[in-house]
Structure 1
Amino acid sequence: MEPRRRGRSGLNAAHGRWAVWLIGPTLLLLAIVIGYPVVSAIVQSFQNDAGLDKATGMFVSGGFAGVANYVHWLGQRCGTGGSAVACPPGSLGATFWTSFGNTFFFTAVTVVFETVIGVWMAIIMNRPFTGRALVRAAVLVPWAIPTAVTAKLWYFIFDVNGVLNQVLGTHVLWTSGEWSSRFAIVIADTWKTTPFMALLILAGLQLIPEEVYEAGKVDGATTVQRFLHITLPLVRPALMVAVLFRVLDALRLYDLPAILTGGGGGSGNATTTLSILVVEQIRQGFNSASALSTITFLVIFAVAFLFVRFLGANVVQTQAVQQKGELR
């Protein structure tokens, strides 16, 4: 008598039950570690900060604030209810849009520089030459250095009596001027994170078959034509994922400007980012900081959605399409 065979539906059901038991603890842990703090921050963002009531001089525990905390940041309005007025210059509430602009300025400029230089470095490291392994290992050094150490390193380089002014023969106050401090952040961040971009792009370049380039040479394609019509289209999935990772990381920029310039420069907030503003607000009011962190989260989520939805940075979908093509 032949043994009874399990059908495909039974096998899938068994796999599904095993998947639930194996993935369930991880999902529960993520819900506790990530889900609860996110929900708690959103709830607190609709609460007033505890403090002294100016009218009575008594300590009050806060209470429901509605969208007042969000109006405080987005509308730069201070006070509550009908007494809300424009936040005075120099206050945290008046620096939101400046910090918002600084964050996107650093993100756009650094990611563009890192992408261009990273592609150039990846193409060089992808070529066969003596000592290639040593070069690839050396490229990792700036990225491996902790950001706090990198910030201190560049702080001494950008000092008025530092290496950069000595080499250029100038006396520029790199960490005090408005635009000089911004460019100091751009230079330091580009130096540190370009190797990350280069390594991700290099991984994409190594997946391109050499026969494709040989076919291009046979057809008479120049080096520029091979780069534009072969390299860029085929490395695009890896390139878009690398850009996505760097954009999301740059939007959360905190430690480099906080250590290098103290979040100041120029008028006092030339290098203040949204993350720095959140930390400064936590020292004054936790619920208002929760609203600001929620706004920051929504901004980063919107940027990630645009990249995945419209710019093709969906690595899962790309792999699925490639596997489908291989099966055919």
Structure 2
Amino acid sequence: MARHTPQPADNASADLADGPDSTLQLQPGPGHVRTTALDALATRALGYLHAGNAVHFRGPAGSGKTKLALDLAQRLGRPVLLLVGDDSFDTKSLVGEASGLKTRRVVDRYITSVMKVETESAPIWLDRALSIACAEGCTLVYDEFNRAPASANNVLLTVLEERILVLPKPRHGEGTLRVHPEFRAIFTSNPHDHAGAHAAQDALLDRMITIDVEGFDRETEVAIAVAHSGLPFVDAGRIVDMVRDFRRSREWTQRPTLRCSIAIARMAGQLGLRVTAEEERFVQLCLDVLASRLKPGPDGVPDPRHRQMLVRLIEHFCGAGGPAPRGTVFGGVAA
């Protein structure tokens, strides 16, 4: 049986190791954290999964959807197949197809003066992620599933409802496949990103329990920044508070996410920078990560006044006087 090659997901919180049959065996990585808020969300979602429901994490880029999906899959303790949605997908990309021929040739020389030759050809079926997961009871993590056309995802309707996989062509002589009782499905999507995304059909969404994920609480964001950078909690907190305040301001065109906090904290740690506005290289690092997200002016580049506001934001949270109070103001917009 052919196996689907797993694809790595962005912002994954676990080490991905190939297991038997090219499924993934998930193990918590060095940047993996568990907080009260994360455990509460995981407990809620696991309850849905154990009851046989599919779970769908929906939220903007950088909100932690893939991290949550992989963490849940690891907690289920089953082999995992990771699939990343793509506009080129069709049903065969999920289920499989007959590809090539297997030829069997029999030569009969029972009678030495007569040679009898029989040739038989049969198509070779190649399984894909969905058929493997359904047959073997794996957990399917379908990341950004709405980047695949709705017509490709239609095959999931009977899988999630009737627990039957309908095959486009007979697989090993069978037109349907009964879904393994341990099969579970976790989906993610980004409704805010319209580039390359498709509208998910209502019939499919109706078969999932959707949990909206806008981001993590402060405690979780700081813990993740510490885990990825090795910075002291106070320094990581300054960076996280600065990025969260910028996020709340809405003075941006590209949402500043937890990835921004991680990038600043990680580089500050690697370069040995002091997390203070008095450290010129640290200020420049923050500007390099955040300034490109500012609202552009008429010429298409960030307004210098907005850039100066960003400098004041860095000074406010990373000033010499210590961490500033949270819930402040950036660009005249209440946080």
More helix by share: 1
Give the TM-score range, shorter chain.
Answer: under 0.3
More strand by share: 2
Q: Whose RCO is larger (CA < 8 A, sep 6+)?
A: 1
TM-score normalised by structure 2 residue count: 0.19
